[in-house]
Chain A
Amino acid sequence: MALELDGQSIELDEEGYLVDLSAWTPEIAKALASGEDVELTDEHWDIINFLREYYEEYQIAPAVRVLTKAVGKRLGKDKGNSKYLYSLFPYGPGKQACKYAGLPKPTGCV
């Protein structure tokens, strides 16, 4: 699979995740999201930016609980839960948000 963007072809794996994580740009995130009929709002970007920061430090996506707690701290307790994250990323914050953020997909029994 590949994503065509501004005349460039960006390689994706079978499930639409970036193959070369360092190739990520905000434009790629927008293109990946619009491919799934999601328009990225500021609320989405809050999550995506946090995911990227976390990945930078730990080389993996944060656990759901780590993510919800961080969101709660930053955006208020009413938003620090899975429900809020699923409202933004209906296919699951772990997988869908990671895809837009250019992170590898979490694998295993999750």
Chain B
Amino acid sequence: MADYDVPEITGEDGIVDVPALQPDAMKSHGPWVSKPEFQDAMHFPTDFNMPEDVSAYGNTDTLVENWKERALDKMADLKGRYRSLQVFLDICVKCGACTDKCHYYLGTTDPKNMPVARQDLLRKVYRRYFTFAGKFFGKMGMPGFVGAAELDEDVVKDWYNYYHQCSQCRRCSVFCPYGIDTAEISMAAREILDHIGMGQKYCTEIMGKLNKIGNNLGLPEAALADTLEGLEEDIYDETGVEVKLPLDKKGAEILLITPSADFFAEPHVDGLMGYAKVFHELGLDWTLSSYASEGANFGMFIGSYENMRKISLRIRKAAQDLGVKRIVFGECGHAWRVAYSFLNTLAGPFDFLDQNYPIPQHVLEITEPALAAGKLNIDKSKNDDMVLTFHDSCNIARGSRMGAKPGGQFDIPRNVIRAVCNNFVDMPADTIHDATFCCGGGGGILTDDLMDIRIKGAQPRMEALKHVTDKHQVTHMAAICAICKSQFTKVVPYYGFSMDMIVSVHQLVSNAIFLTGQLTEEEIEAKEAAEEAEWAAAREKAAAEKAAKESEEAEKETSDK
């Protein structure tokens, strides 16, 4: 592990105390800037010079021509398009209720990471150029008198740096008496930056891959098919049951849209196998799509409606081409927000789907009622080696809902965990449900060049986790978001936890479910022993062949001499 300054956690009450301010503690150049070729694929301007190195980030000669005018034009465009943005820029009274609600502020102590101050980086420019008071005092050379500021190079540098220290988790918004959605301001700022030559490499490179190949990973169809086949084998090896993970199956009832991390990373893939087992056991006819093999939609993170729509339309096209009747989403936080809250606007109407089911539906909305109705054969003791806690993902907790009742997005995942595990403990109340703390890696921050902010931003969640591991013997934390799972897996070791303590919710289901026709443990052990023997024999054979070849070569060499 590389060296980072890791905040200390105590586990005392599970809550991080509000730290003393340290101005400019996180002043930096921000994440890697996106090359013109990545920007081009997003239909953003490309008439800028790639900075030689990070120290040049934000310098005028690395931005597009007339960058100031174009930034202000974009701001005008956005506030005209989104009435909400204009309202949020206008109505903040600087009451300060949000200041200590941000995990990045708590973890970094940088005052510009107080949500109100981070928003003000954009708001002060809005004031200067779009309000009467700002224009008036601006012309007199004293814009600061009315909280306004000139747009200059330094402001752009601050935008790029600090708007990539916001995960758009919207915890601050929960506590804002006016309901100002800070995330929307961060999104707008990133959209403006994208139009002046300061896109973020991580987000735009990924979306480019999605547009070309169908997913963020750049996993081509053949590799996806091979991976899925491998998972079918694994489930067969573990259970003796042929559970399918179908790809591009025309006429299937359900299209599953899941983050591509589910095909690739741990513990995500264990969750995917869980969905497959549930669908199998319920007799549901389902498929994945190679064309829309991604649930994530980074268009939201960069505030780009056009790109968000383009990504969403892939899902619509896949659903129509495959002729499915239902669309179901896997465990992904912001995918579910986009799906639940925006999909119909972005890619609807979905009048060609079966109207008797939620459009779209979350996989937990299938698993939970099936468990409650006793349709799945569950052996809870299979998870007895764990004491679980659950991390509410921001975009699910604060940007969507599940099921028919208010708060379903909190209850349904917990109901599922309780139905398949004997041991469950919640973290402190101020850190769960709609007050949940971000994992520290959401909103386009999950990139290695932002490790410092990721580690520091995780502090409030780590403190709460430490509390339940110390005081309530919690051993594992379950999550329902690909970003949360990847972020935690990477970051928890810095806080003294083990990376394998992070699990998928459907991984717990997968552990506990006993499929119809599943082999007993003894039968599986015998099967595994036979398999290992087979592999060992293959290895021996290969080694023998290698040795034979080597001695043959050696002989040849000697005879040559």
Interface residues of chain A, those whose CB is within 8 Å of chain B, are 14-15, 57-60, 62-66, 69, 72-77, 82, 90-92, 94-95, 104, 106-110
Contact = CB atoms under 8 A, between A and B. Distances in A.
Contacts of A62: 223, 227
Interface string B187-229: 0000000000000011001100100000111111011001100
B264 A107 contact: no
Does more than half of chain B's interface fall in helix, strand or loop, or is it mixed? helix
Contacts of A90: 1
A109 B482 contact: yes
A108 B536 contact: no
A16 to B, nearest CB: 10
A108 B448 contact: no
Contacts, number: 97
A82 B231 CA distance: 16
Contacts of A82: 266, 500
A58 B226 CA distance: 9
B32 A64 contact: no
A109 B202 CA distance: 10
B263 interface: yes
Lowest 10 CB-CB distances: which A-B pairs, in order?
A108-B216, A58-B223, A109-B482, A109-B261, A110-B265, A63-B264, A108-B217, A109-B483, A14-B32, A110-B261
21 contacts: A15-B449, A58-B223, A59-B223, A60-B218, A64-B266, A65-B227, A65-B230, A72-B535, A76-B539, A91-B2, A94-B265, A95-B448, A107-B202, A108-B217, A108-B260, A108-B264, A109-B216, A109-B296, A109-B332, A110-B264, A110-B486
B259 interface: yes
Residue picked from A65, A82, A109, most chain B C-beta under 10 Å: A109
Given A60-B223, A73-B538, A108-B264, 5 more contacts: A59-B220, A60-B218, A63-B230, A74-B539, A109-B483
Nearest to B32: A14
A54 to B, nearest CB: 9
Contacts of B222: 57-58
Interface string B477-521: 000001100100010000000001000000000000000000000
Interface residues of B, number: 45
Contact of B217 (A75, A77, A107): A107
B301 to A, nearest CB: 11
Nearest to B535: A73
Nearest to B295: A109
A104 B449 CA distance: 16
Contacts of B227: 62-63, 65-66
Interface string B255-278: 000011101111011000000000
B230 A107 contact: no
Contact of A76 (B220, B260, B490, B536): B536
Given A58-B226, A82-B266, A69 B217 contact: no
A76 B266 CA distance: 21
Nearest to A72: B535
Contacts of B216: 107-109
Contacts of B201: 14
Contacts of A64: 264-266, 269
A107 B218 contact: yes
A42 to B, nearest CB: 13
B266 to A, nearest CB: 5
A73 B532 CA distance: 8
Nearest to B294: A108
